[in-house]
A = this chain, B = another copy of it.
């Protein structure tokens, strides 16, 4: 994994900031019943794990990731949160080491965007989901970002992020295609609801928490890769980052949309 997020200290901080700011928007309507068993597939550093587990305190979670380092960070985070309903386990979500139908529900957040074959993951996860159980998927879509003042360098900088993720085998425009992905993988009753973040000066926490510290920080974080790989020259890159921060001024606005899909096996 040489791309883009989840694997550096800055990125861990960013993901936490993101989860804190966007918790209600993304997770507010996910509640699992008492005694249900939930697989969180690709928990990373546990940013979503602690929200999920706190929101459904009588459900049990098995949170897996392929990265031992991320799992260690997730374990610390779960302990610090004082949560006792989470088991962390090393596993590959393309080959989950569980019996067929083992889980009542499966939850996947900011994971499919990184996979060369998300359909394969969705099918592998379906195998360990019981018939009638629910699959929840949350992903962003970097093509959903637009802002005022508009800026060509800023749009190009975001385009670099999309290109880098594509070169790494992922798809940062995946949000818009959750519906066909889930239907194509064989899920039933697929319902996709977009969750749009709109930030203007009347919502200063969102401007700071999302426009500045989540989205623009994420783009800024791939600057060396983008310039180093010749996707943009350094001056234009800097102009793009400056223009993204510019949208966080009092007369600026910023829009981004996450997509949440819920489906049944």
Contacts and interface: CB of A to CB of B under 8 A. Distances in A.
Interface stretch (A16-24, A127-135, A184-192, A236-244): A184-192
A220 interface: no
Given A196-B196, A200-B192, A202-B191, A176 B251 contact: no
B183 A194 contact: no
Nearest to A173: B150
A255 B198 contact: no
Contacts of A192: 198, 200, 202, 253
A150 to B, nearest CB: 6
Contacts of A201: 179, 183
Interface string A124-147: 000000000000000001011011
A180 B252 contact: yes
A148 interface: yes
Contacts of A183: 201, 251
> Interface size bucket, A side?
20 to 34
Nearest to A249: B180
Given A179-B201, A200-B192, A255 B150 contact: no
* Identical copies of this chain, number: 2
A180 B246 CA distance: 13
A176 B141 contact: no
Given A194-B196, A198-B194, A200-B192, A255 B177 contact: no
A63 interface: no
Contacts of A196: 194, 196, 257
18 contacts: A143-B146, A146-B173, A147-B176, A148-B176, A148-B180, A150-B173, A150-B176, A179-B200, A179-B202, A179-B253, A180-B251, A183-B251, A191-B202, A192-B200, A194-B196, A194-B198, A196-B196, A255-B257
Interface of A: 141, 143-144, 146-148, 150, 173, 176-177, 179-180, 183-184, 190-194, 196, 198, 200-202, 251-253, 255, 257
